[in-house]
Every structure is written in structure tokens, then in C-alpha cells.
Structure 1
């Protein structure tokens, strides 16, 4: 008479805990593509939760969230946009925090092009300089600040090629359509060195700090995977990945 109960108990004990895992929809600023992919893999291994990420410029993602996109977590490339989303009533109050601080570089796919970055910018010996759209991409805004503080805005205006995100900006330079461009350090850096081409890491006093904030969106308020991901971003394992791509954390 007790055999069916025993079989049921054994079956319950043998259930894979990952079967109870959840999925989280995340909107991620394009500069954080590579580290997010690595973090997502580690997060899935450690928790069983699955990350579904969409990448784009912070401004584009903000527009999508404002129009009802099903994102549950937002990792922006600035601090002001998540704060605005919170003010709009689309995020859970008190969940916003800085997950990374970014850095800007002048980069070329040509390993011999950039030796003195400032001198190269002043020389004008190039046809195309790529930047991200400063209205939608915080790294593009930082690039305009650099040109302003160097007094080169007018001199460089005719050379600018504008990408809609820092991801597209990187592609302009990587493909050779622009000889050089302002990109995120994380796109060309790994574990202490530039991985390809040549680069000049811009002095921090040439642009405002790029504090990148994360926030729990209303659509993720009841999703355990969303809360778990935000907690995981604060973990040492995630922090090590983030530092490995040149971010402050």
C-alpha cells in the first residue's frame, strides 16, 4: 500500500532543479555586448536561469521600453536613462545601481595608425572618423565632449561618420569604412591589453564619467530570474568579467 507513495517521493527528489529555472528578458547597451554574453553564460551555469538579451543604443532601448517592449531588466550605458525610466513609472523604485564604469578609446583596425592619438586627431590626416549618435548613445556623447575639450569640433566635423549605436560605430572602423573612431574600451580590450588594431585611451578629464546603471523594470518585478540577474551582477564572478573588459566596477 505504501509503494506508490515511496515511488512518488523518489520521483520528486530526482527532479532536476534547473527544470524550475526561469527566463529573463534583458535590454543591454551595445558596449556591454561581449561581457554580457560571458556573464549570461556564467549566470546560466550557476543558477539555471536563462538570459535572453537584446543589444542596442541606450536611447533606442529606452524608446522600446517606453513603447511596451517585454524587457524585464535594463543595463544602460549611462545613469540618466534608467533614472528617467524610474521617473516614468516603468521601473521598480530602489533597484537602480551602477554595474560598470566605461572608458572611451580612439581606435583603428590598423595596428600602426595610432601612436599619438591627440596628434593624429589634430593632423586631420584621415578621411573618416566614426562616432556613435550622441543623441542616443552615451559613448557618442562622450566622443563629442572629447572633441569639444580638445577644441577640434569644427575641424573634425566634415570627417564624422555616425553609427546608431557603439556597436555599429565599431563595425565602421573594423570594416575599414572609417580609418578610426571613438569606441568603447570594452570592444577592443581584454585582460590588460588591446586585442586588435591600435588605440589611444582617452584621458578621463576629456569627458564626463560613463557610469552605467542597471534597473529592474516593472515587467520583471515578479520574475525570480530578473532579481537573480541583478544580484549576480554584483557578485565577484561577474565583477571579474567586467574588469576583464576594462570597466571600472
Structure 2
């Protein structure tokens, strides 16, 4: 009972995770952002798009030189973001889109890949999601490798850990409908839970975070949640993080991407 009371207090007071005044943004500013230009789209076009066109490596190859035909990005690349994470035969495992970018840089461009936490990798990832906007999410969870990662992702989602003994499930299944940091907790998928509408989280990440003044990927957002929950963050690109992304993204299968998103 003591543990339940402690967890409940987090959602009532919001004290553990900070306050709206300290970390939030006013409704007025939020409205201005919604009516104006999404900085995430600017980042995708100007930074990510430029990197997509930039020649790199000993042979001066760019992403565009391999994946552009008649001035247009080929469809399989322009829609790829909707299908990742996915199994990659050359790696023998499920990988994220960010890792696929790294693989291309090393294998085809002959350069040292951008790190998963770098601005450059995030920019290229965001650009590909920007191109894929409007494409229905359709991550594979039925093939043997994908099913293994899906099930492991569900395990990571439900695993309570850290000094506050929290999990993704605690906030986004057990506590839906409660108030945390002046925002209502919602399910992460498309389906409602206990009368609370699903947030379809995977359809708007990467997103520009107004409170961070930068674009973050879904895995980078997971790290923020984990830190706030008092957990040791999972490494970007780890099996645990990729599996968690696959699981969460699968909850929105069939929903069209609205990327990059705009979040507080």
C-alpha cells in the first residue's frame, strides 16, 4: 500500500517531475507555435536536407546520389521512416532508422558514421520522417526477429526500475487520465485505455520540443522520460531501446505520420 500511495502522489502533485511553471510553456505561446512555422520542419529541410545532398567520403557520395531519381527521392526511401525499426539482414537484427543511416554512411559513403546522439544523425532522421509524413505507420511485428523485439519491447515497457520503481506502463496504462506536470497522461497508442483517448505517440516523433528548443527523436524522448522517472537511461541504439521503439510504434500501426511534430 505504501508504494501505491507514493506513486499516486506523483501524479497528484507533480512534485517529483517539476512544475508547469518551471518547465512548461504558456497556452498563448503554444497557440502561436501551432499557428506559425514548425521549427522542426525548418530543421528537417535546412539541416537534414542539406546533409542528404552533401557529398561525403573518398568517392564524394551523398544520400541523394544513391536515392534520388529525376530530382525526386525514390519512394522506398521517402517512405522508409514508416517501417522502422525493422529487421536488417546485413546486421542480423532489428535496427532503428538512425542506425540504418549509420550503416549507409559506413558501408556506402566510407565515412565515420554520425553518432546516434549527434545533431547530424537527428537531422537526417528528421528529414526522412519529414519526407514520410502522410505515410501510414506499418512496422513489422510478425516475422520471427521482429516478434522477438516486439515482445522484448513490451517487457521493457512494463519493467519497473529506478529509485521510483516506475515503468512506461505505470504512466501510460495504469495512470491514464491523471494529471502530471499540468498535462493529462494518455495511452501511447491509437487505442483508448480506461476512457482516455490514445495519443498516437509514434505519429509525431521526431518532434521539436519547445521546452528544449530542439528536435528530438522518439528514443531521445524515451531518455527524457527515463531520467524524470529516476531511471538509468537506456543507451540509444541498444537492443532495449530499439525494442521499446518498435513496441511503442506498433501501437500506432495504420496511423499516418505527422512528422516532425511539435511538442512542449
What TM-score do the two structures reach when normalised by structure 1? 0.31
Higher relative contact order (CA 8 A, sep 6+): 1
Which structure's CA Rg is the greater one?
1
More strand by share: 1
What TM-score do the two structures reach when normalised by structure 2? 0.30
